[in-house]
Amino acid sequence: MAMKIGTEQFKERVDNGLNDEFMRGAVASAQDGMSLKRRAVTTDELGNWEEWRNHAEEIRQHVLEHLDFYLEQLSENVAKRGGHVFFAQTKEDANEYIRSVVQMKKAKKIVKSKSMVTEEISLNAMLQEEGCEVVETDLGEYILQLDDHDSPSHIVVPALHKNKEQIREVFAEKLGYTKTSKPEELAYQARVTLREKFLEADLGITGCNFAVAETGSFSLVTNEGNADLVTALAKTQITVMGMERIVPTFEEMEILVSMLTRNAVGQKLTSYITVLTGPREDLDVDGPEEFHLVIVDNGRSDILGGEFQSVLQCIRCAACINVCPVYRQIGGHSYGSIYPGPIGAVLTPLLGGYDEYKELPYASTLCGACTEVCPVKIPLHNLLLKHREMIVEKEGKAPVSEKLLMKAFGLGAASPTLYKIGSKLAPTALNPFTSGDKISKGVGPLKAWTEARDFPAPNKERFRDWFKSREKGDK
Amino acid sequence: MVGTIQNRDQFLNQIANRLNRPRITIPIERPNWKYQPQYDVFKDTSQDELLEILKKQCKIIHTKIFTTDLAGLPGVVNDVVTEYGGGPVVTWKDERFSKWGLDPLMKQQWPAHNIELFEWDYTLGDENIHKAENANVGITISEITLAESGTVVLFSDKDKGRTVSFLPATSIMLIPKSSLVPRITQAAVKMREIFQETGHVASCINFITGPSNSADIELNLVVGVHGPIKATYIVIHDL
C-alpha cells in the first residue's frame, strides 16, 4: 500500500464515508471513548500537563534543529554494535536496499509489525514482486490484509471502520474460521495462525517509534507483543524509520514514549515498550543475527527549514484525529491517505504534493481542537490555514470543492434582491426537508452540510420583516 | 564486527542545507531542558507507598499481584503455577532463583509432580525457543519496576532469553521490592548510567506492563493476543 489509498476523487470519498453508517457510528464512539481515556491520564491526572507538552515540544524542536548531528551519532552507534545503516533519500532508494537484503538472505517468509513509514514507501508491493509472503502481525492490520488489502482508516486503530461480524466473515472466508464474532475468539484465531508465521519467518520488518542517538537503540511501542516476536525469532531484521523519529538519549525517549501512550490509547504505558540495540549479542539465542536500519527521507527534508517544519514534531499518537469534528463525520478513508485527520491534512500534501491532495487542507473547520490536544504542540490548524494560503497563491483560486460551495452560498447572499427572494422563498421551498426547527435532508449546497449534521431551518418570519415590524412598533 | 553505513554524507548534507547552515561537526551537549515535569511524579514517595501504587495499577492492567517474604515465596510461586494449569515451566538461567530458596520447589517438587522445568541454556541454541514456545508458564525477574504504570523491566543476555517473557501462554514476574521506582523516568536514568559506566546496553530491554492485549476489534479490549494471555507479579518484601 502506498501513502495514497483508494482511487476515487475527494468528494466521492467523502460521500462514501458519509453513507457508511456503521463506520460513522464506530468513529463517533471511538473518538468519545479514546478522548475520555486520554483526558483521564493527561489533563485530569497530571496537574502540570502543559509542562509535559512544553517539554515534549522543546525536545522535538531541538532534535529537528540538530537532526544531522543526531542521525550521524545514531548511525555510528548502530554500526559499532554490528548493525548496518542505509540512508534512503527516496522511497525507491529504500525499497532497492531492502530488496537487495531480501535477495541476499533469500528471504521468502516475512513478518512485519505495524509501521506507517513502510506503508508510505509501498514496501509490501516490492516484497510481493520479489515473491515473498508478507504478513502484517498487528491484529488490525492483519484483518485489513486478509480482507484483500483493505485500507486503514486510523493510524492507531487501522480497522476501526470494520465491525466484528465483517471480521468474522473475512476470517471464515480466508482462514476457514468457524467460531463466533466474539472479539476474544477472533483474536485467539489470529494468535494461533500468526504464531506459526512468527516461528517460520526468515525476515522480520519493523518501524521505529523513537531511535536513541546516544546508544544506537530504537524503541517499539505495542500492546499485542507482536513487535517482540517479529524481532526475536527471524534471523534477519530490517527496521525502517522516518528520519525525524529520533531523540538524544533514553531520558528523552521516555518522555516521548509516555506522551505517545497516554495520548494514543490513554495508557500510562502500553503492554510492551521494547528497546532494541543492534543484532543479538554473541551467545544470545534469540534476536536477529543481522540487523539493518533504513533511515528514510522521502520528502521530509523539503519540509525542514520551512514554514511547515513543526509538522515533523509529530509522534503519531492520533490525538488530533480523535478530536477532529470533520474526521468524525467523514472517517479515515475520505482523506485518501494512510495519514488521515488533521495531521494527515497537513502532512499528506507535503509528502504527496498539492496536485493530488489540495482538498485536504479544506477538510477542517479550523476549530483548533487538534492544536489544543497535540502533545508536541504542533500548531495544526494554523498549518492548515497556511496550506490554504499557498494553494490559493499557487492555483490563483481555491480548489473546486470549496469554490463551488462558496459560489453556491455566495450567489444568494451577494445580491440583496436575490437574497430577499431567496430568504422569502426558503421556508416554503425547504418545508419538505424540514423536521421541527432543523433541516436534516438538504438539497443543493446544503446537501453536503446536512449529510453530516442538521442545519437550522429558516425562521417562518424573516429577520428583515421582523425588524421592519419592530420599527413600526408592532412588537 | 562493525556494520556498514551507506549514503550518509549526501543525506545529512541535504538536511544541513535545508536548515540553512553547515553540517554540525562538534558534538552537541545534552541541553538543559527548560521543563522537567517528570521528576515531580511521586516525588519523595516511600517504597511502601510505591507498592500500594503498583497494586492499584495492577487492577487496571489485568494483572494479579501477590506480596510475600522469601520464606513464603516458593509457596506463592507454586500456587500461581498450579492455578495456571501446571507445566511445562521455562525460566532464565539466573542464580537468584536458587539464592531466593526456589531450588527445592523447582528442582525437586515440580519434577516429582510431573511439572517439567526448563532452564535457559544458550549452549542448546534454538532448542531454547522450542521449549519457550511449548511452555505453559515463563518465569522472569524484574530489574526495575515502575509503580506508576505497573511495569516490569527485563534486560536480555545469553542466560536471559527474550522469548521467556512472551512465548509461554502465561507469565510470572518476580519483583524485589527494592526495584520499585516511581516511573519510567528513573528507569531511563538508570539505563543511561549503566551505559555510561559500562559502554554497553543489553540488546533487548523490555518494559512489560501486564499481559498482551488488543482493542483492534470494535475497540473491545481482548486480553492475550501474541504475548502471554495472563500475567502475575510476585513482590518479594525483604529484597
Q: Which residue has the higher pLDDT, B219 or A319?
A: A319
What's the CA gap between B190 and A194, in Å, rounded? 35
Confidence bin at A451 (pLDDT 50/70/90): low
Contacts of B52 (CB under 8 A, 6+ apart): none
Query: What pLDDT is recorded for position A64?
Result: 98
Query: What pLDDT is recorded for position A1?
Result: 59
Kindly report the CATH number assigned to the domain that includes residue B69: 3.40.50.10420
Instruction: Inform me whether the C-beta atom of residue B215 falls under 8 Å from chain A C-beta atoms.
Output: yes
Backbone angles phi, psi at A17, to 5 degrees: -60, -45
Query: What pLDDT is recorded for position A293?
Result: 98
**Which one of B24, B150, B151 has the shortest CB-CB distance to A68?**
B24
- pTM, two decimals, is 0.89
**A399 in Cβ contact with A362 (< 8 Å):** yes
- State the SS3 of B125-188: CCHHHHHHHHCCEEEEECCEEECCCCEEEEECECCECHHHHCCCCEEEEEEEHHHEECCHHHHH
* Contact yes or no for A157 and B189 at CB 8 A: no
Cell output for A15:
460521500
Model confidence at A210: pLDDT above 70: yes
Q: Would residue A366 count as lying in a domain?
A: no
Query: What pLDDT is recorded for position B137?
Result: 98
Chain A residues near residue B24 by CB distance under 8 angstroms = 66, 68-69
Query: What pLDDT is recorded for position A406?
Result: 47
What's the CA gap between A19 and A441, in Å, rounded? 13
Task: Report how many domains make up chain B.
Answer: 1
Kindly report the CATH number assigned to the domain that includes residue A259: 3.40.50.10420
Round the average pLDDT of chain A to a whole number and report it: 88
Q: How far is A49 from chain B (nearest CA, A)?
A: 8
Query: What pLDDT is recorded for position A17?
Result: 87
Q: Would residue A392 count as lying in a domain?
A: no
Give the relative orientation of helices A250-265 and A21-41 as an angle to the nearest 10 degrees.
130
Give the relative orientation of helices A341-352 and A380-395 as an angle to the nearest 10 degrees.
40
Q: Domain boundary residue among A238, A270, A301?
A: A301
Query: What pLDDT is recorded for position A405?
Result: 44
Q: Would residue B18 count as lying in a domain?
A: no
Model confidence at B164: pLDDT above 80: yes
**B120 in Cβ contact with B93 (< 8 Å):** yes
Task: Report how many domains make up chain A.
Answer: 2
Q: Would residue B23 count as lying in a domain?
A: no
* Contact yes or no for B10 and A89 at CB 8 A: yes
Instruction: Inform me whether the C-beta atom of residue B31 falls under 8 Å from chain A C-beta atoms.
Output: yes
Query: What pLDDT is recorded for position A7?
Result: 79
Model confidence at A463: pLDDT above 90: no
Owning domain of residue A430: 415-471
Peptide bond into B88 cis (omega under 30): yes
Confidence bin at A25 (pLDDT 50/70/90): confident
Model confidence at A204: pLDDT above 60: yes
Tell the residue number behind the cell numbers 506480596, with chain if given. B67
Confidence bin at A426 (pLDDT 50/70/90): low
Instruction: Inform me whether the C-beta atom of residue A22 falls under 8 Å from chain B C-beta atoms.
Output: no
Instruction: Inform me whether the C-beta atom of residue A213 falls under 8 Å from chain B C-beta atoms.
Output: no
Please state the rounded mean pLDDT for residues A174-186. 95
Query: What pLDDT is recorded for position A408?
Result: 39
Residue A374 marked as a ligand binder: yes
Confidence bin at A412 (pLDDT 50/70/90): very low
What's the CA gap between A145 and A157, in Å, rounded? 14
Residue A208 marked as a ligand binder: no
* Contact yes or no for B38 and A254 at CB 8 A: yes
The DSSP symbol for A361 reads G
Model confidence at A42: pLDDT above 70: yes
Q: What percent of chain B has pLDDT over 90?
A: 94
Chain B from 117 to 156: CB within 8 A of any A CB: 120, 122, 124-126, 128-129, 133, 146, 148-151, 156
Q: Would residue B24 count as lying in a domain?
A: no
Q: Would residue B97 count as lying in a domain?
A: yes
Query: What pLDDT is recorded for position A410?
Result: 43
Query: What pLDDT is recorded for position A411?
Result: 40
Chain B residues near residue A188 by CB distance under 8 angstroms = 224
Q: What percent of chain B has pLDDT over 70?
A: 100
Query: What pLDDT is recorded for position A111?
Result: 97
Q: Would residue B2 count as lying in a domain?
A: no
* Contact yes or no for A87 and B11 at CB 8 A: yes
Please state the rounded mean pLDDT for residues B7-11. 98
Q: Would residue A234 count as lying in a domain?
A: yes
Query: What pLDDT is recorded for position A460?
Result: 58
Chain B from 161 to 180: CB within 8 A of any A CB: 161-163, 166-167
Q: In degrees, to the nearest 5, what angle opens at C-alpha A143 toward C-alphas A139 and A149?
A: 130
Owning domain of residue B130: 45-236
Chain B residues near residue A228 by CB distance under 8 angstroms = 162, 166, 206, 226-227
Model confidence at B154: pLDDT above 70: yes
Query: What pLDDT is recorded for position A455?
Result: 54
Q: Would residue B59 count as lying in a domain?
A: yes
What's the CA gap between A195 and B132, in Å, rounded? 13
ipTM for the assembly: 0.97
Dihedral of alpha carbons B94, B99, B104, B109, sign: negative
Please state the rounded mean pLDDT for residues B179-185. 98
**Which residue of chain B has the CA closest to A301?**
B15
Round the average pLDDT of chain B to a whole number and report it: 96
Q: What is the largest CA-CA distance in chain A?
A: 96
Query: What pLDDT is recorded for position A273?
Result: 98
* Contact yes or no for A87 and B23 at CB 8 A: no
